[in-house]
Amino acid sequence: MGDAYVGARTPRREDLRLLMGKGRYVGGVRPPGAVHAHVVRSPIAHGRLLGCDAKAAWTVDGMLDVITPADAAGLRLPCTSLSPGQRMTSYPVLEEAIRYVGQPLAVVVAESAAAARDAADLIDLELDQLPAVVGVERALAPGAPLLHPDWGSNLVTDYVMGDPGAAERAAAHVVELTFRIGRVSPYPLETRGVVASYDGDELVVHTSSQAPHHAREHLAEAFGLAHDQIRVVTGDAGGGFGGKEHIYPDELLICLAAMRLGRPVRWTESPGDRLFATLPARAAVHRARLALDADGRFVALYADILGDLGAHPANTGGSTFAVTATLLQGPYRFDTAGARVRAAVTTTTPTGSYRGFGQPEAAFTRERLIDEAARRFGFDPVELRLRNMIEPAELPCTTHFMQDYDSGDYPGALRRLRELVTPPPGGDGRLRGIGYSCHVETTGLGSSMILKAIGGQTGGYESAVLRMNPDASVVVSTGVVPIGQGIETTLAQIAADRVGVPIDRVRVVMGDTATTPYSPIGSIASRALALAGGALTRAAARMRAKLLAIAANLLEAAPDDLEIVDSAVWVKGDPHSSVTLREVATAAWRGWDLPEGTEPGLEERVNHDPSGLTFAYGAHAAAVAVDPETGGIEVERYWVVNDSGVLVNPAIVEGQLQGGVAQSIGMALSEEIVYTDDGQPITDYLPPTAREVPHIEVVHVETPSPVTPGGMKGVGEAGTIGPAAAIGNAVAAALPEIAHLVTETPITPDRLWRLRSP
C-alpha cells in the first residue's frame, strides 16, 4: 500500500475551527471568579526603584492585591542557554535595579481589568534615574554606564569559533564591510497572556506557549513546587515566532498573584506594551571579511559578531549570535573560516528568540559580501556562488564551524532558481535590480548531548505516544504544540499512512502537560515535525508490526504475507482472507488469541533523540524597484527554491515559506525597534502589509534527511533566512554607485535617500 497522505496536499484540519471563530486562545479562558492583573512597568531605562507607594491604589473599588519587589524576593528565572564566560545564569522576576523601559516593577490585581489599570496608574514610583546606554558599541566604549557594576564591564561573553587566522588570510581580492542588523519584534497577533489558578495543591496555568513542559519546569523551579503540582495548558497560538518559547517575569508574577489570592487571575499583555515587554531579537553589528583568489575561489571568511543582549541575558543568552557564527559558512567551500563572538548588555529590552534565530543575520552578511566581491572584481554573482558551492557528492561534510551538513544539492537549487527569475517590466522611471541569496539552515534541533556540549540547559529529544483503541481509532500524543505550523495535520498524515487507517480516524493530542509526554524544548527551531514526526514514524512501525503479528495469528498466515488495506488486514492476493483492524484491535485489548509472548493492548511510546541536526537549504531571489526621488523600495517579485527533506504536506510547506518571506521583508525594509539616547523606545513599528508582499513563487526540492526517520527536515524558519540578503543585493544591484553602503537593516526610504544624498 502506497502513501495516501504523506506527500498529499491534505487540507489543514485546524483551519475549520479557526475560520469559524472557535480557536482556543488564552484570552477565551474565563474561569468562574477570575480577577484581573495589570503590570506596572518602568518609565525609565536605567536607575533604581527607591519606593513603590500603593496607598492611593487601595482607594480604587475592587482593588485586591499589589505585588512589589519585596513580595517576590527570591523568585528567579533561568537563562536556558549559557555562553562561555557568562556569569549570570538566572535573573530575578522583580528587583529594584532598573535596566530598561518596560521592566516590570509591580503587579496590581483587581476585580476587573479597568479597576486594575486604574489602580496601577495610582502607584507612586520613587525613581533614581541613571544614564542610559543604547547601542552595543557604546556599551563597550570606555566610560560607558555599567548595568551590572559588579561585573566591571558590560561584556557578557567573548570567544572564538573556527579559525581566528581567517581574519588575516592574504588573497588577491578582499572585501571588508561592517553590517548593522536592526532590532525587530516577533510581533504575534495574539499577544502574550496567562490565566493562572491555584487550589493550594496544584497550580494550573493556561498560556499561549510554544513549550508548555519547558514553562512547567521554570515555574516549578521558581516556586519550589514538584512538577506534578503544576499543569500548563496551551490551546491555539495566534503567532509565537520564538517569542513564546519560555516563561517571562510578568507571566510568573501572575501565577504568584493567583497563589496569594487563591482565585484565578487573568492577564493579557496590552498591544502597546508588546515592543518593550516581549523579547525582541536580531540586534547586532558584524565586521566581516571575505577573501578570494584571482579566479574567484573563496579563500577565507571571517566575522567579528557583536550582539546586543539588552538589559541582561534572558532565555537565549548569547546563543543567537553563536548560531550566526556557526551558519556563517552557508553552502560554500572556504579554505578557512572563523568568527569572534561577543555579546554585551545595554539599557534596552532583553533580546531573545525570533524566527530564524541568528540565521538571517548570517545570510545577510555573507551574501552581501559575495555580491560586493562580484561587483568590485568583475564576477557574475550567480556564477561566483556556483563556483564555490559544496557539491552533492561532497555531502555529508563537516564545516569549519563543526556543523555536520547531511544531504542536499546546493548548486542544483541555485541553478533551478536562475531559471525561474524573470525581470519585471520597467519604464516608470524607477531603478531596478535582482538579487540572490543562498543558505543552509539548521533544523530539527536535537541530540541531547550536542545541546549539553554547547551550553543548552535542556534535552534535545522528542516523544510520541501512539495508541489504537479497540474500535481501531488512533490517538497520537506528543509534547510539541500547535503554533500555526499545521502540526496537527501533518502528524495525523504520518499516523494514517504508517498505521494504515483513514485520516479521519486519527486524533492528535497536544498542549497539556498533564496528558502529553514530556518535551524538553517544544515547538521551536524548526523541530516539531522532524523530531515528533520522527518519533511517531518509529512508533507507527512498531504498531504496524504488532497489528500484522496479531492478524497473522488470527488468519493462520505469516506476517510477511499480509498487508493493511482499507482498514483491514488481508492476505496478499487474497482479499477474501482478511480481518478488520477493529477485530485485530479488539483482540489486542481483550488479550484474545494473541501470539505467544505478545502483551495485550496497542500502545507504543518512542523517544527520538537524533544523532545530529538536520540541514535544510534554499536559494532566494528578489526583484526590486527603487524610486530615486524618495528612496522607496518595492519588492516586485520573489522566488524561492527550498529543500526541507520529505514533504509530508506540500501546501503547508508553501505556507510556511511564504509567511517567512513576508516576515523577513519586514526585517529588510521596514521593521525596527528604535531607541532614543535616553533609552526610550519609539513605538512606531511597521510590519509589512499585503501591499508590500509580492507574489512569492515556491519550488520544492526533496532530499531526504538521513538523520530523521521518515526523512523530514524542518521548514518553519526557512522563509525568513534569505529575504534580507536577497533584497539587499537587489537594492545594491539597482544602485551600483552606493552598493558598498547597503549594509544595514532595515533599508528604509530615509536611510537609502541619505546614502544617495550625503
Average pLDDT rounded to a whole number, residues 278-292 = 97
Q: Which residue has the cell 514530556?
A: 518
Min mean pLDDT across 22-31, 48-57, 240-249, 308-317 is at 308-317
Question: Which three three-digit cell numbers place residue 641?
Answer: 527554491
Q: Which region holds residue 733: left if phi is over 0, alpha if psi is between -120 and 50, else beta?
A: alpha
Compute φ and ψ for 573, nearest 5 degrees. 85, -5
Question: How many angstroms separate the CA atoms of 288 and 341, rounded?
Answer: 12
Question: Which three three-digit cell numbers place residue 654?
Answer: 508553501
CA angle 521–527–533, rounded 5-degree value: 110
pLDDT-based confidence at residue 318 (cuts at 50, 70, 90): confident
Average pLDDT rounded to a whole number, residues 747-757 = 93
User: Which among 306, 416, 476 is positioned nearest to 639, based on CA atoms?
Assistant: 416
Assigned domain for 342 exists: no
Based on the structure, what is the number of domains in the chain? 3
- For 575-588, how does the pLDDT look when each residue is reduced to its tens digit (9 = 90+)? 889 999 999 999 99
- For 496-511, how does the pLDDT look when each residue is reduced to its tens digit (9 = 90+)? 999 999 999 999 999 9
Judge whether residue 149 has pLDDT over 80: yes
* Gyration radius of the chain over CA positions: 27
pLDDT confidence of residue 454: 87
pLDDT confidence of residue 1: 44
% of the chain exceeding 70 in pLDDT: 100
Q: Going by C-beta distance under 8 Å and a sequence separation of 6 or more, which residues neighbour residue 673?
A: 182, 183, 184, 185, 275, 276, 280, 349, 681, 682, 685
Question: How many angstroms separate the CA atoms of 653 and 716, rounded?
Answer: 8
pLDDT confidence of residue 758: 66
> Pairing state of beta strands 230-233 and 203-207?
parallel
Assigned domain for 146 exists: no
Assigned domain for 172 exists: no
Assigned domain for 76 exists: yes
Assigned domain for 350 exists: no
pLDDT-based confidence at residue 51 (cuts at 50, 70, 90): very high
Judge whether residue 2 has pLDDT over 60: no
Verify that 594 and 616 share a domain, yes or no. no
Average pLDDT rounded to a whole number, residues 480-492 = 97
**Distance of CA 746 to CAs 175, 192, 199, Å?**
22, 26, 49
Verify that 576 and 719 share a domain, yes or no. no
Domain with 428 in it: what CATH number? Answer: 3.30.365.10
- For 535-561, how does the pLDDT look when each residue is reduced to its tens digit (9 = 90+)? 999 999 999 999 999 999 999 999 999
Verify that 433 and 475 share a domain, yes or no. no
Judge whether residue 671 has pLDDT over 70: yes
Average pLDDT rounded to a whole number, residues 687-716 = 97
Q: At what angle do helices 410-420 and 381-388 cross, to 10 degrees?
A: 160
Using the 3D structure, point to which of 257, 277, 297 is the last residue of a domain. Answer: 277
User: Which among 179, 625, 662, 696 is positioned nearest to 425, based on CA atoms?
Assistant: 625
Verify that 194 and 90 share a domain, yes or no. yes
- Total number of residues shown for the chain: 758
Min mean pLDDT across 256-265, 420-429, 649-658, 717-726 is at 420-429
pLDDT confidence of residue 271: 84
Average pLDDT rounded to a whole number, residues 415-421 = 98
Q: Tell me the DSSP string of 652-710.
A: HHHHHHHHHHHHHHHHHHT---EE-TTSPEE-------TTT--EEEEEEE----SSSTT
Question: How many angstroms separate the CA atoms of 591 and 480, rounded?
Answer: 32
Compute φ and ψ for 419, nearest 5 degrees. -65, -30
pLDDT confidence of residue 80: 87
Q: Tell me the DSSP string of 430-492.
A: -EEEEEEEEEEEEES---HHHHHHTTBSS---EEEEEEE-TTS-EEEEES---SSS-HHHHHH
User: Which among 21, 29, 33, 464 is positioned nearest to 234, based on CA atoms?
Assistant: 29
Q: Which residue has the cell 543582549?
A: 309
Assigned domain for 210 exists: yes
Verify that 604 and 640 share a domain, yes or no. no
What residues are paired with 605 via a beta bridge? 465
- As a three-state string, the secondary structure of 282-349 is CCEEEEEEEEECCCCCEEEEEEEEEEECCCCCCCCCCHHHHHHHHCCCCCECCCEEEEEEEEECCCCC
User: Which among 561, 608, 569 is positioned nearest to 588, based on CA atoms?
Assistant: 569
Assigned domain for 147 exists: no
Assigned domain for 340 exists: no
Verify that 647 and 720 share a domain, yes or no. yes
Question: Which three three-digit cell numbers place residue 247?
Answer: 516563561
Q: Going by C-beta distance under 8 Å and a sequence separation of 6 or more, which residues neighbour residue 722?
A: 360, 363, 367, 437, 438, 439, 618, 619, 620, 640, 661, 664
Verify that 97 and 229 share a domain, yes or no. yes
Domain with 48 in it: what CATH number? Answer: 3.90.1170.50
**Distance of CA 265 to CAs 72, 75, 105, 514, 681, Å?**
17, 19, 18, 20, 29
Verify that 618 and 559 share a domain, yes or no. no
Using the 3D structure, point to which of 252, 277, 302 is the last residue of a domain. Answer: 277
Verify that 65 and 202 share a domain, yes or no. yes
* 58 half-sphere exposure, CB direction, 13 A CA radius: 7
Verify that 219 and 126 share a domain, yes or no. yes
Verify that 601 and 617 share a domain, yes or no. no
Question: How many angstroms separate the CA atoms of 757 and 599, rounded?
Answer: 78
Verify that 629 and 735 share a domain, yes or no. yes
Using the 3D structure, point to which of 583, 608, 633 is the last residue of a domain. Answer: 608
User: Which among 183, 185, 245, 189 is positioned nearest to 217, based on CA atoms?
Assistant: 245
What residues are paired with 620 via a beta bridge? 437, 640
- For 361-385, how does the pLDDT look when each residue is reduced to its tens digit (9 = 90+)? 999 999 999 999 999 999 999 999 9
Question: How many angstroms separate the CA atoms of 495 and 503, rounded?
Answer: 8
Sign of the alpha-carbon dihedral angle for 208, 211, 217, 218: negative
What domain range is 685 assigned to? 357-444+612-756
Q: Please name the residue ranges forming H helices in 556-649.
A: 581-590
What residues are paired with 181 via a beta bridge? 284, 745
% of the chain exceeding 90 in pLDDT: 96
Average pLDDT rounded to a whole number, residues 441-455 = 93
Question: How many angstroms separate the CA atoms of 630 and 693, rounded?
Answer: 19
Computed over every residue of the chain, the mean pLDDT equals 96
